[in-house]
Amino acid sequence: MNGRPEIHGNLGSKLRMRRHQTGSFRHRSGAVAVTSAAPHVRDSMNLRGIMTRMLVALGPCLFMAFYNSGYQANVALAKLGTTDLPGWRGALLGALRIGFEPSNIGACVVHGALYVLPILFVALITGGLWESLFAVVRKRPQIEGVVVTAVLFTLILPPAAPLWQVALGISFGIVIGKEIFGGTGKNFLNPALTSLVFLHFAYPSEMAGDPIWSGVAGYSGTTIFNMVAAGGVDVIGHAGIGWWQSFLGRIQGALGVTSTLACLLGAAVLLYTRVASWRVMAGVMIGLVATASLCNWAGAGAAPILSLPWYWHFTLGSFAFGMVFMATDPVTGAATDAGRWVYGLLIGFMVVLVRVANPVHPDGVMLAILLGNVFAPLIDYGVIWANTRRRALRGA
């Protein structure tokens, strides 16, 4: 939190009071006064401010979603040897005379927007309707958090995601992942991740596999994870994909998660505004490096995926996006400083473990973060218990 908190009550500003252990206030003369209204902690950063900063931090990833989606689609059309894109997207681009040149940044951005905007629109409208319904039933103001949830959910979807599945997924995430627990601030699972995992298990063929990443019917590009699983790290280079290309984000993947650079720019915004915890990010990174290095040492000569270095793990899949925007969720993550370290280390460890042990879900980031969400309360409980125990022994 930023700013200096002030405690406001109805005791009068002239009385010099101190908080009693029971929660009441004691005047310096010894008299006890109890507030008739709850004190409130005011701070310069409210929920709207946090959501605004989140949207600003997501700006680079949103731009890359536009550009890279269009770039991958234009590359696919070039490899197919055609500029005839069927459907309304092709008709609109033809009417605008945009073209399908992969080297044209403007053409890629406009083409990519035709994949991103419909998904984002459906997520915003559907999520907003559910939020409005629960706000009316519970007689509380509608919270702006649904906008951030819709943007996050959009950016972790493939370009070819059917719109009816987008509506169904965001509905599951908002209702089952958040509202049944009481709404924003009371949920223990990230609603955007809950939406994605629901779609992965309910409709695996539409959420996984090679054909879903380009958005162009009839084109299938092998993902990097499948390349590594088939022949190791050397296959990536043979396919013409370098580490810097992966870092910048010009590879196939979900709409807004491919660019590690864009995610790091967002991380700088979140850390500067103190919206996200640097301990969580550092813990996730350390967990990834340590576990990947251990797999490289222990799995030498075994499965090819075990030889994938940590710096490739760092830029592949949705790792950077999950580390910056999902793991740092203050509601579903650990709240204690020591707990944030443990929480981050657990996520980094689980990301590599899922990637090397579960070929069905080769990315592993979202599942690892949800697992961290489940264990976050237990981690905080353990930290508090250890601190209480240590102080009791010190005072004995």
- What's the mean pLDDT in 224-237? 74
pLDDT reported for residue 211: 58
Instruction: Show the tokens assigned to 27.
Output: 């005047």
Using the predicted structure, report yes or no on whether residue 234 has a pLDDT greater than 70: yes
pLDDT reported for residue 49: 81
Estimate to the nearest angstrom the gap between the alpha carbon of 56 and the chain centroid.
14
Average pLDDT over the chain, rounded to whole? 83
- What's the mean pLDDT in 176-196? 87
Q: How confident is the model at residue 182 (pLDDT cuts 50, 70, 90)?
A: confident
Q: Give the type of residue at 302.
A: A
Q: What is the pLDDT of residues 205-215, one digit of tens each?
A: 777 665 566 67
Most confident region among 18-27, 184-193, 242-251 by mean pLDDT = 242-251
Using the predicted structure, report yes or no on whether residue 178 has a pLDDT greater than 60: yes
Most confident region among 63-77, 206-220, 288-302 by mean pLDDT = 63-77
Global pTM?
0.84
Which residues are 18's β-sheet partners? 26
Which of residues 1 and 367 earns the better pLDDT score? 367
Nearest alpha carbon to residue 326 among 152, 202, 150 = 152
pLDDT reported for residue 107: 92
pLDDT reported for residue 15: 34
Using the predicted structure, report yes or no on whether residue 359 has a pLDDT greater than 60: yes
Q: What is the pLDDT of residues 98-125, one digit of tens each?
A: 888 999 999 999 999 999 999 999 999 9
Residue tagged 């200096």 (tokens)? 4
Q: How confident is the model at residue 305 (pLDDT cuts 50, 70, 90)?
A: confident
CA-CA distance, 237 to 162, in Å (whole number)?
32
CA-CA distance, 65 to 263, in Å (whole number)?
12
Which of residues 361 and 273 earns the better pLDDT score? 273
